[in-house]
Amino acid sequence: MTTGVWRIVGGRARRAATVALVCASLVTGCGKHRDPAPPPPPPKPTVKVAPPTPIETKKAELGGTEWDPQWDRIVEQTLPQAMLSRQVPRDVRRFCPRFYQMSVLDKRSFWAYFFQALAGAEAGLDPTTRVRHTEPEVAVKDGVTGRFVRSEGLLQLTYEDQERYGCDFDWEHDRLLKANDPAKTILQPKNNLECGVKILAKQILEQHKALFSNTGYWATLRPGNASYPMFANQMTNVPIACGAVHRPTRRALHEEAKSDRPR
C-alpha cells in the first residue's frame, strides 16, 4: 500500500517537474504571448568617395558651392543592384572601359562620380539652381504645379517627376516657400539625387535605352546635343579603376547619336 502511494505521488511529481521544465525552456514563458523581435535592418552598402570633377576642383580653388561627399553616399546607397551588373548598357564603357570587370564598390564610386559630373553640367553643383527653358518642347505647363515648367535642383528635375518616377517631391509643401528656399523638397540634394537615380534606372533598365541616348531625360547626356560636351568635360577624372578613357571620334559620336540602343 505504501509503495503504491509513493508511485502515485512520484508520478505526479515527475509530471509537475516536466511541465515546469517545458515552461522554463520557452522564451516567451507559459501563459504569455509576445511577438518575436523584428529582424535587424539590412546593413547599408559600403560606399567609396568619388574623385572630384573638374568643376569641383575649380570651385574648391576659387570658391563657390562645392560637391558634398555625403552626396556620394546618397547616390551609392540609392543604386539598384541592376546598375551594378551587366544589365548596364555597353556605352558605359565610353567613360569607364573596365566597368564590367570592376568590384561592386568601384562601380558605386563610378556612379557617384557620374552624377557629380551630371550635376556639374546641369546646375554647376548648386542645389538651389532653377531654370525656366524657352524651347517649345519644354516650355509647357507642369501637370502638378499648373505653372510653366522649371527645372530645379542639382539634376534639374520637375515636380512632374514626382508622379512619373515616384520621387519624394511635395508641391503642396513647397508652394508656400520662396522659389529658391533650400527647404523645398525638390531642392533638397537627397530628394533630387535619389530621383535622378530612379530616372536613369528606368531609362537604361526598364526602357532598355543606351546610357547616352538622344531620347534620354537629360539633354547633357545626348551625344548629338550642343550641351553634351559640358558633361563630357566633367568626365575626365573618373575613378582610376575605370581604366584609361579613350575619347570617341566625331564619327563615332554621330553614329551613336542615331541609335537609342546600346551597341
Angle at 257 between CA 253 and CA 258, to 5 degrees: 125
Cβ atoms of residues 222 and 216 within 8 Å: yes
Query: Helix 54-62 crosses helix 104-123 at what angle (to 10 degrees)?
Result: 60
pLDDT recorded at residue 190: 98
DSSP letter for 157, please.
B
Distances, alpha carbon 31 to alpha carbons 14, 34, 41, 134, in Å: 21, 10, 30, 72
pLDDT recorded at residue 23: 39
C-alpha R_g of the chain? 28
pLDDT recorded at residue 210: 98
pLDDT recorded at residue 30: 45
DSSP lists the bridge partners of residue 151 as 131
pLDDT recorded at residue 29: 45
- How far is residue 222's CA from residue 109's CA, in Å, rounded to a whole number? 23
pLDDT recorded at residue 201: 98
| Cβ within 8 Å of residue 230, ≥6 positions away | 121, 220
pLDDT recorded at residue 133: 76
pLDDT recorded at residue 207: 97
pLDDT means per 10 residues, the chain with 263 residues, are: 42 47 42 60 77 94 91 98 98 98 98 98 97 78 91 97 96 97 98 98 98 96 96 97 69 49 41
